[in-house]
Structure 1
Amino acid sequence: MSGGWKSIALTAVLAALASGVGAWAGAEWMMKRHQTPSLHDIVHRRLDLTAEQDARLDEIEARFAPQRASLEADVRAANRELAAAIAANQGDSPQVQAAVDHFHDAMGALQKATIAHVFEMRSILTPEQAQTFDKGVAGALVQETR
């Protein structure tokens, strides 16, 4: 009889495992299905760029990449500073508030530079391409706030 219980227990464990994997896979599929395409996907896959536009976009992206990396590093550093201030002060304090302000400044600088980059990219598009681009940008912004 103990062999019967082992079989039942093994079957229950395998069923639970299979159901967990199925739920995870379904959730992943749904997330990918409802995900707004990235700006890169919109620009390079949906706009039917000319060779000249594609080359100009490559230049724009190459110019922005080091600036973006630097600004993202500033955001990470400000976040670490905030974490350290919270850990050291264990509550709201002038040090925590200064770290919050630093983080907001770093995030604001990244956001402003990214918006300028987006408009620079848009400037080389035809009016029809710009419409598709604008819809994609707006969709990406709305998707991030959900």
Structure 2
Amino acid sequence: MSFFSRGLILTLLLTLIAAVGGTWIGARYIYDQRHQPSLHEFVHEELKLSAEQRKRLDVLEQDFAVRRRAREAELRAANAELARAIQVRHEYSPEVKAAVERFHDAMGALQNETILHVLAMRTVLTPDQAAQFDKRVSEALTEQAP
């Protein structure tokens, strides 16, 4: 009986290891097939940028990072304001409405900053690179896989 129990436990253990391994391999395969590089990855890894282009893009990205952090701070502040307003009255009060509008304004400002950054990046590219970039941006905005 002890031998039967060890054999059964070993079989169950090997089955579990095979199942976990198969699940992990399958998940990695699906992820690799569906993972679309970010626009940043696409520009830096697939467009074959010159050293001068990289330098110009670095300046644009550093500038955008500062503006993005400021806009994200505005979003966090608007969310905190919304949480406080909801907590006070637990209804869609004028304070809640104002906080929602503040959040939407901050979100719109971040979106505008992002669009301006994307358009500024495009000015650094060659015509061929810009065509590839435009296609990638269009795919991202319409959620189409390349």
Q: TM-score, normalised by structure 1?
A: 0.78
What is the distance in 2 between the residues matched to 1:11 and 1:141?
50
Could you tell me which runs of 5 or more consecutive residues in structure 1 were left unpaired when the two chains were aligned. none
What is the distance in 1 between the residues matched to 2:10 and 2:90?
48
Alignment correspondent of 1:34 = 34
Alignment correspondent of 1:142 = 142
Alignment correspondent of 2:54 = 54
User: Structure 1 residue runs of 4+, over 4 Å off?
Assistant: 7-25
Could you tell me which runs of 5 or more consecutive residues in structure 2 were left unpaired when the two chains were aligned. none
1:22-59 deviation digits (Å, cap 9, x = unpaired): 54663454234213210111110111111111111111
Structure 1 residues 26, 118: closer, same or farther in 2, change over 3 A?
A: same
What is the distance in 2 between the residues matched to 1:94 and 1:28?
48
Task: State how 1:62-141 maps to structure 2 within 5 Å.
Answer: 62-141=62-141
Q: Any idea what SS the aligned residue of 2:143 has?
A: helix
Structure 1 residues 79, 18: closer, same or farther in 2, change over 3 A?
A: farther
Please state how far the C-alpha of 1:93 moved relative to its aligned partner. Answer: 1.5
Structure 1 residues 96, 51: closer, same or farther in 2, change over 3 A?
A: same
Paired residues, what number?
144
| Equivalent residues of 1:86, 1:92 under 8 A apart | yes
Structure 1 residues 59, 16: closer, same or farther in 2, change over 3 A?
A: same
Q: Looking at both structures, which has the greater relative contact order when contacts are Cα pairs under 8 Å and sequence separation is at least 6?
A: 1
Q: 44-53 or 135-144, which moves further after superposition? A: 135-144
What is the distance in 2 between the residues matched to 1:91 and 1:14?
55
What is the distance in 2 between the residues matched to 1:13 and 1:87?
50
Q: 90-99 or 19-28, which moves further after superposition? A: 19-28
What is the distance in 1 between the residues matched to 2:125 and 2:141?
20
Please state how far the C-alpha of 1:18 moved relative to its aligned partner. Answer: 6.6
Structure 1 residues 16, 141: closer, same or farther in 2, change over 3 A?
A: farther
Identity %: 50
What is the distance in 1 between the residues matched to 2:38 and 2:100?
29
Structure 1 residues 70, 20: closer, same or farther in 2, change over 3 A?
A: same
Aligned-pair Cα RMSD in Å: 2.8
